[in-house]
A and B are shown apart, each in its own frame.
Chain A
Amino acid sequence: MQITSPSFKKNARGALSNVQLQKALGNVRLGFIDKRIKAVDALPEFDALRDSARDIKDHALAHLDLYLEAYEEKVTAAGGKVHWAETAEDARKAILGICRAAGARTVTKGKSMITEEIGLNDFFEENGIRPVETDLGEYIIQLRGEHPSHIIAPAVHLNKEQVEEDFRRVHTHLPEGRDLTEPETLLAEARRVLRAEYFAADVGITGANFLVAESGTSVIVTNEGNGDLTQTLPKVHIVVASIEKIVPTLDDVGQILRVLARSATGQDMSVYTTFSTGPRRPDDPDGPEEYHVILLDNGRSSMLGSEFQDMLRCIRCGACMNHCPVYHAVGGHAYGWVYPGPMGAVLTPSLIGVDKSGHLPNASTFCGRCEAVCPMRIPLPRMMRHWREREFSRRLNPATQRYGLRAWAWFARHPRLYQLATSFAIPGLSLLAGRRGRFGYLPFAGGWTRHRDLPAPESRTFMQQWRDRETLKQGGSA
């Protein structure tokens, strides 16, 4: 997909003036925040589970090579095959090879952000293979030629009237008079259309929420069951997952699952949690004949041992974006690539370079709400700050900002000169404001006064007044 992160500001302006989008973004707040609070409040050990989940992932990351090798061994023993992919291109090639060998013309997909990351759908179409998204949200945006705007609710930027319109436009073989006004009827319609696709597909592709080292198992959670059908009906199942999805044991999965859905949608558990280990065995009633895992690095191993390693704990619950005031304001597409919100602000620069995505870690108020709700206790603001430091040291941010900042910092390091300068400037500014006590416009404060008044300084600085008071006190007592 095309990267538009460099034009984040323009994207954001577009999003802010899009009335429909602004209305739809209200659903993020209503749909996720209150439900999460309720689910968390009902589980007294939630915070202890977060610590445990964090520790599990930290341990796995500290021994990532060992666990990945153990995982491969188990997958192989179960009759599957692991393909190691260093880059997105490697992954696409491996997937295409498997599909070609299977003579695939139609591929069904469970929702997977990693296949968005490697641009798989476009690649399939370029190579004569028809990808069909089976997650309702993904299906809708595929019809629209869009990309997800949220990592767990891909079509959260749309409202149901838009979906109805798309369904009527595309599902021309269905009768006209059907009811498509409610989420339930829309879901039923998508189901009806997708059912045929599951059976027609030659290959099914899913992501993975977890890869389990001890058993070679891949785990996905969904609410629609589409993941199960995607991976059991076609004769080939391909799991596409990035290397940091590994956890040591099934028990670890059990623990992390307890914080995942609660953080994401406020559910105790997702409706479906599906474990798959290898292809179908002789006595299995169903399942694929071939089982492949594409293990993608795509820049992640370079995060290990860096100040961004903690980001690899992320379990893609979306809680950070659900609680981010900036995400609420501009939605996910403004971020310009696959991963939006606070997690994207940290991950995206790691994957596509901070030179292309420098706005993302900057466009945060550092309010800390993302970190407060992150089930994996990822210090998101701290890592955004690290990106800002890298940008600053590489002089990637605008010169005016750099010089303004450095001038301020110089004064801040020289208290006498600072106070001399402010003791002239502040009373002057106060006088300029007059009796109204605020500015509607100031030439050097355009970013501020475009949208709000600037309260004027009261009078003289505190330091000036305090010095006078102390002098007076000493004079009085002498």
Chain B
Amino acid sequence: MSESDHQPPRVGLFVTCLVDLFRPSVGFASVKLLEDAGCRVEVPMAQTCCGQPAYNSGDRTDAIAIARNTIETFEDYDYIVAPSGSCAGMLKKHYPALFKDGDWQDRAEAFSAKVHELMSFLVDVMGMEKVAARHEGTVTYHDSCSGLRELKVRDQPRRLLATVSGLKLKEMRDSDVCCGFGGTFCVKYPDISNKIVTEKAANIDASGAETLLAGDLGCLMNMAGKLQREGSSVRVRHVAEILAGLDDKPSIGGGKS
């Protein structure tokens, strides 16, 4: 058992569908952070979405089919890491609940034990204490609900952000209150969602920060879309982009370079 102990852990990156489609730079930032932490990163091509839209809409059959695909694709890795509390929560907390018993239940449990949200993995599992990045300016951090309440991601991103040189964190009011995204919620109940994100945008603006960070692309797209509709100058990024030093790219919805 001696030699394998010194092998870097083999991490399967679950890219998340929103990152894949809308914000590939979050995927590359995740790869960089994981490699910096000493991991061997692979991105299995057979992945798609975690199945959360189906699961949360009551379509259990499709959620199970998608979960099986994801488990088969990732179960051989030492760890499965996702740059999203919501998707990681689905993989870790909800996949085991999809299978009642038998072989798939065991496979889902074993799979679940290896799943981590990116920030929590870097800090809690890999023991990362600092990053080499630099970012001049003030940022504020939104605690996305699933990461915060399902996976207890709160201090990890803040600890790493504290080591980014030039960066100053200004907390907003109610940083732990939902932004109103909620997956399909925001399109099923657009008016209520709008009310919630309007308050969120006001809190972000009132913090005086120049940049808004969070760990979930769904929430980020929601908040960015609202801030931009209101003409706010706040820029929006996934926390991994700042930590990986990839802040030369345009911000989310911020136009092309």
Contacts and interface: CB of A to CB of B under 8 A. Distances in A.
Interface of A: 9, 12-13, 16, 325-326, 328-330, 362-369, 371-372, 382, 385, 387-393, 397, 401, 405-406, 408-413, 415, 418-419, 422, 426, 434-438, 440, 445, 447-448, 450-463, 465-467
A365 B86 CA distance: 12
Nearest to A459: B24
B54 to A, nearest CB: 5
Contact of A405 (B27, B54, B194): B54
B48 A412 contact: yes
Contacts of B66: 409, 412-413
Contacts of A457: 21-23
B251 to A, nearest CB: 9
Nearest to B223: A452
Contact of A451 (B48, B177, B226): B226
B53 interface: yes
Contacts of A329: 192, 195-196
Interface stretch (B112-120, B183-191, B202-210): B183-191
A367 B149 contact: yes
Contacts of B176: 369
Contact of A453 (B53, B58, B65, B229): B229
Interface string B57-72: 1111011011001000
B58 A365 contact: no
Given A401-B188, A452-B194, A465 B24 contact: yes
Given A16-B195, A405-B59, A405-B62, 13 more contacts: A328-B196, A330-B195, A366-B146, A369-B178, A389-B59, A401-B188, A405-B184, A409-B65, A412-B17, A413-B48, A448-B187, A452-B228, A462-B24
B21 A426 contact: yes
A156 B89 CA distance: 35
Contact of B192 (A16, A408, A437, A460): A16
B58 A455 contact: no
Contact of B197 (A385, A451, A454): A451
B169 to A, nearest CB: 22
A448 B182 CA distance: 12
Interface string B234-252: 0000000000000001101
B111 interface: no
Most A Cβ at <10 Å: residue of B59, B183, B187, B188: B59
B57 A388 contact: yes
Interface residues of B, number: 71
Contacts of B15: 462-463
Interface stretch (B2-10, B39-47, B121-129): B39-47
Given A406-B62, A408-B53, A367 B182 contact: yes
B233 interface: no
What is the interface of chain A mostly: helix, strand, loop, or mixed?
A: helix
Contacts of A366: 56, 145-146, 182-183, 185
Contact of B21 (A391, A452, A461): A461
A415 B45 contact: yes
What is the interface of chain B mostly: helix, strand, loop, or mixed?
A: helix
A413 B62 contact: yes
B145 A369 contact: yes
Contact of B181 (A362, A365, A391, A437): A365
Contacts of B53: 405, 408-409
A408 B50 CA distance: 12
Contacts of A438: 224-225, 228, 253-255
Contacts of B187: 445, 447-448
21 contacts: A326-B189, A326-B196, A363-B189, A365-B178, A369-B177, A392-B58, A392-B60, A401-B188, A405-B54, A412-B17, A422-B21, A426-B21, A448-B190, A451-B193, A451-B194, A451-B226, A451-B229, A452-B225, A454-B225, A460-B24, A466-B43
A466 B27 contact: yes
- Nearest 5 Cβ contacts at the A-B interface: A365-B182, A455-B253, A388-B58, A392-B58, A452-B225
A372 B149 contact: yes
A12 B189 contact: yes
Contacts of A362: 185, 188-189
Given A369-B145, A457-B22, A406 B192 contact: no
A448 B57 contact: no
Nearest to B176: A369
Given A363-B185, A392-B59, A405-B54, A419 B45 contact: yes
B95 interface: no
A12 B225 contact: no
Nearest to A408: B53
B151 to A, nearest CB: 11
A372 B178 CA distance: 13
B256 to A, nearest CB: 5
A380 B184 CA distance: 18
Most B Cβ at <10 Å: residue of A387, A410, A435, A437: A437
B55 interface: yes
Given A16-B191, A409-B51, A454-B225, A364 B185 contact: yes
